[in-house]
Every structure is written in structure tokens, then in C-alpha cells.
């Protein structure tokens, strides 16, 4: 948590040409319009000046960090704001600065406070800037206390703030896995994820410090970016396929293609499909680049017809809340609501029921979600009337410290 932050390059005075101002726009899109972080950054930088665009890495760093830690940062901001609780754009300014002060442990705290205060003064005037100055100075004085805040044995609301999770998600995780597991999961989910690739030559995972280390292999289609948990899940499934000498696999909800690529590199006859238009295009591009077309694209309309039925195995990687990938996509924890579980559950069960009809007798139905919520995991199987012969849970706090996943293998 005390890693050295990426520092911005100042563009003269603060204001529209200064990257901190653009970062507040990104947070606004993520929090108010529920747009994904990557898309929000692209939107904001689309018309930005070159000096701002050059600070893209810095904007991504502090925005993703502020979103991961948002619950605890908001709790700290409100505690230090006394009677007046900031809202809107000023809260975004405070969230970004609070992340730098509390989490990054930046040695240049005075500069962070000064930049934020100047930004507010230019946009909102003297009085709001004085308020921001007072709050940030109090946060700076107690940064370590907030970063190392003990777990509160009080209300779920305060526990959720400590965990930087919405209260509904915190309660679900506690109910599913217990308080201690929920705590360790929350702490792990505050960290930045590690970058992993899968190498085509040996099919092994490799940890990377940056994409530059593997750019040549990535561009040549000889390596693919894939989280270590995803790789672990693919290898686990491959073991079940090998044990039964099964080779023909339909990969549903396959975009962006990591599972299909890994299975194709392992010698399986892979058919890949995804109903999302933009994701389907990306999937087809990746299949061509990384497998040379050996993993074949299949449109959703063709599945279940002619040669695209009766597979050895069908893998359903179903849409879900994404509760297991909060480090990688920190906006998810704030953009999903408890009511979404019901809608997603219906989709998961429907996919499972359809997919089982495309599996040959004696074949395998494989189910996975990037979620740690039981309703989306074993609960979805139960609703679909399916019983697994093997299950696998992966959590970011456990080896190999990748994303959170649930996987199941059902023999038909």
C-alpha cells in the first residue's frame, strides 16, 4: 500500500488543462453515470489536451485507487467534515486527494493539498476552497490512522465502510463465507492486481511488472494477458477434459477469448461464441490473432444447429456481479446493486439449462463466474437442477492471489 505513486507532470496552472481536473471528470462518470473506468478515461481524454493525455497512467492510478478505497475514503472525509458533508464535484476532488494522502503515503502531502485547494478555488471560489483545505489537512495529519483503521466491531454499515464495499455486498459475503474470510477478502481487494500472461510455447503463467516486458510476444500472438486465477481455472478444466479424453469444447460468453485461446493452445477443438456485439468483434479478432483461426467463432443463432450441437463439453462463463474482480474493475463494487442479483440469476440459470442440451451424453457441462457470491455460484446450479462432480473456489487473499472465481464441473 505504500508503493511509490506515479506523479503527474504539471501543465502550468490548475484548471481544465491540469490532469487532476480530468481525473475528477473520470470519477464523476464512474460514480454518477455508472460507466466503466476504462471507458470513462477514454471519454474524458478523447478531447483532452496533449499534456493531459500524457498523464493517462497517473489518472488511471489515482482514479482506480480512489474507487477501490472509496468506502473508507468517504468515511474518513465525512468524519473530518464535521457538520457539512461534501457532495458532487467537491467530493470527487476530496476522494482523489484522500487516496493520495491516506493510501499512497505520498511524501509531498503539502503539494497534493495545495493542488486540490487551487483547483476548487478556480472552479468554486474562496469559501469552498477553505473547506477543502481544512478537510485535507486533517486527513493528512491522521493518514496512517485511516490507512491502518482497525476493523470495527459495530454496525454492518461501518464494517462495510472499513471494507470499502457497499453494505449489501458486505453482508452477502459475510453470510456466505464468514466475517474473517470477508475481512481478508476486503483487504486483498484494496490492492492493485498483478499482471499475468500465458505463454503459448509452454502454456505456463508468467508474472509481469509491465506489458513492455512481453510486448513483442503479445504483438506476435505468442503470449496472452490472462489473470492467474483464470489460468488456474482453465488448467483445472483441461485436467477434467484430459481425464475423459474429451476434445471438442463450446465456449459460451467467451469474450475477450482467454479461455478459448488457452484451450486451443492445449490442443482442444474450440468453438467460441458471445452475444454482445462489441465484445464479439473483439473475440473474433483475438481468436484470429492468437490461434490463427483454429478456435472457431460461432454465432449465437447457429448454436444447437447442424454441426454446432452435441459437444464433448460446453463451458458457460456466465454474466455476474463481478464481485471477484473488484481489484481489476474497482467501479463494479459501486455500480452493482443487490437487485441485480435476481436478474443475473435468471440469466445464469437460463444459460445452464440451454447449454446442457448441447452436451453429448457422458460429456461435461462447465460453469464459472468471476464472483464469490454463493447465489451466483452453487446457488445457480441448484436452481438449474444440476449437481457438480467437482467445484473450485478462488479468492484474491489465497494462493495464487488472483481474481475471485467459482468453477464447477457437471457430468451429463
- % of the chain at pLDDT higher than 90: 86
Task: Give the whole-angstrom CA distance, residue 310 versus residue 307.
Answer: 8
Predicted local confidence at residue 159, as pLDDT: 97
Pick the CATH number of 195-411 from 3.40.50.150, 2.40.30.10, 3.30.70.2190, 3.40.50.2020: 3.40.50.150
Per-residue pLDDT tens digits for 232-266: 999 999 999 999 999 999 999 999 999 999 999 99
Task: Give the whole-angstrom CA distance, residue 253 versus residue 283.
Answer: 10
Whether the per-residue pLDDT at 15 is higher than 50: the answer is no
Helix, strand counts (H, E) of the chain = 19, 10
Find, among 287, 274, 233, 247, the residue nearest to 405 by Cα: 233
CATH 1.10.940.10 fits 19-149, yes or no: yes
Predicted local confidence at residue 272, as pLDDT: 96
- Mean pLDDT in the chain? 92
Q: What angle do CA 283, 298, 368 make, to 5 degrees?
A: 65
CATH 1.10.940.10 positions along the chain are 19-149
> How far are the Cα atoms of 71, 180, 261 from residue 175, in angstroms, in the given order?
20, 11, 36
Region 89-95: mean pLDDT is 97
CATH 3.40.50.150 positions along the chain are 195-411
Region 61-65: mean pLDDT is 96
Find, among 140, 204, 162, the residue nearest to 73 by Cα: 162
> How far are the Cα atoms of 168, 233, 360, 363, 387 from residue 366, in angstroms, in the given order?
29, 11, 13, 10, 11
Whether the per-residue pLDDT at 371 is higher than 80: the answer is yes
Q: What is the DSSP string of 293-314?
A: TSSEE--TTTTTSTTSSSEEEE
Dihedral sign of CA atoms 264, 266, 268, 272 in order: negative
The pTM for the full model equals: 0.92
Per-residue pLDDT tens digits for 158-199: 999 999 999 999 999 999 999 999 999 999 999 999 999 999
Predicted local confidence at residue 6, as pLDDT: 38
Predicted local confidence at residue 107, as pLDDT: 65
387 CB burial (10 A radius; 0-12, 13-18, 19+): exposed
Region 366-389: mean pLDDT is 97
Question: Could you tell me where the beta strands, DSSP code E, fall in 227-267?
Answer: 248-252
C-beta separation of 139 from 77 below 8 A: yes
Amino acid at each position: 500500500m505504500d508503493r511509490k505513486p506515479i506523479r503527474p507532470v504539471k501543465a502550468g496552472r490548475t484548471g481544465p488543462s491540469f490532469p487532476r481536473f480530468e481525473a475528477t471528470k473520470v470519477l464523476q462518470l464512474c460514480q454518477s453515470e455508472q460507466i466503466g473506468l476504462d471507458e470513462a478515461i477514454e471519454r474524458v481524454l478523447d478531447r483532452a489536451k496533449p499534456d493531459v493525455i500524457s498523464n493517462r497512467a497517473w489518472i488511471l492510478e489515482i482514479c482506480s485507487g480512489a474507487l477501490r478505497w472509496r468506502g473508507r475514503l468517504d468515511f474518513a472525509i465525512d468524519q473530518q467534515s464535521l457538520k457539512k458533508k461534501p457532495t458532487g464535484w467537491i467530493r470527487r476532488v476530496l476522494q482523489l486527494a484522500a487516496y493520495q494522502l491516506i493510501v499512497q503515503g505520498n511524501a509531498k502531502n503539502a503539494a497534493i493539498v495545495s493542488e486540490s485547494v487551487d483547483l476548487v478555488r478556480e472552479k468554486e471560489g474562496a469559501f469552498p476552497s477553505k473547506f477543502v483545505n481544512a478537510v485535507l489537512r486533517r486527513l493528512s495529519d491522521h493518514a496512517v490512522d485511516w490507512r491502518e483503521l482497525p476493523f470495527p466491531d459495530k454496525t454492518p454499515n461501518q464494517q462495510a465502510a472499513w471494507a470499502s464495499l457497499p453494505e449489501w455486498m458486505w453482508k452477502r459475503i459475510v453470510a456466505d463465507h464468514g466475517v474473517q474470510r470477508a475481512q481478508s477478502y476486503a483487504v486483498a481487494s484494496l490492492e492493485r492486481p498483478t499482471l499475468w500472461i500465458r505463454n503459448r510455447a509452454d502454456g505456463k503463467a508468467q508474472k509481469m511488472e509491465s506489458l513492455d516486458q512481453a510486448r513483442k510476444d503479445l504483438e506476435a500472438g505468442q503470449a496472452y494477458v490472462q489473470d492467474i486465477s483464470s489460468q488456474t481455472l482453465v488448467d483445472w478444466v483441461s485436467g477434467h477434459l484430459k481425464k475423459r479424453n474429451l476434445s471438442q469444447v463450446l465456449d459460451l460468453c467467451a469474450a475477450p477469448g482467454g479461455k478459448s485461446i488457452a484451450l486451443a493452445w492445449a490442443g482442444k477443438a474450440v468453438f467460441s461464441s458471445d452475444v454482445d456485439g462489441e465484445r464479439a468483434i473483439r473475440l473474433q479478432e483475438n481468436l484470429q490473432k492468437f490461434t490463427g483461426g483454429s478456435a472457431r467463432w460461432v454465432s449465437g443463432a447457429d448454436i444447437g444447429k447442424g454441426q454446432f450441437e452435441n459437444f464433448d463439453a460446453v463451458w458457460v462463463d456466465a454474466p455476474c456481479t463481478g464481485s471477484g474482480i473488484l481489484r481489476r474493475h474497482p467501479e463494479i463494487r459501486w455500480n452493482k446493486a443487490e437487485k441485480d442479483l435476481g436478474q443475473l440469476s435468471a440469466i445464469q440459470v437460463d444459460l445452464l439449462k440451454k447449454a446442457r442440451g448441447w452436451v453429448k451424453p457422458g460429456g461435461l457441462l462447465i460453469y464459472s463466474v468471476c464472483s464469490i457470491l454463493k447465489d451466483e455460484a452453487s446457488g445457480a446450479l441448484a436452481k438449474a437442477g444440476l449437481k457438480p462432480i467437482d467445484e473450485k473456489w478462488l479468492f484474491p487473499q489465497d494462493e495464487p492471489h488472483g481474481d475471485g472465481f467459482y468453477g464447477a464441473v457437471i457430468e451429463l
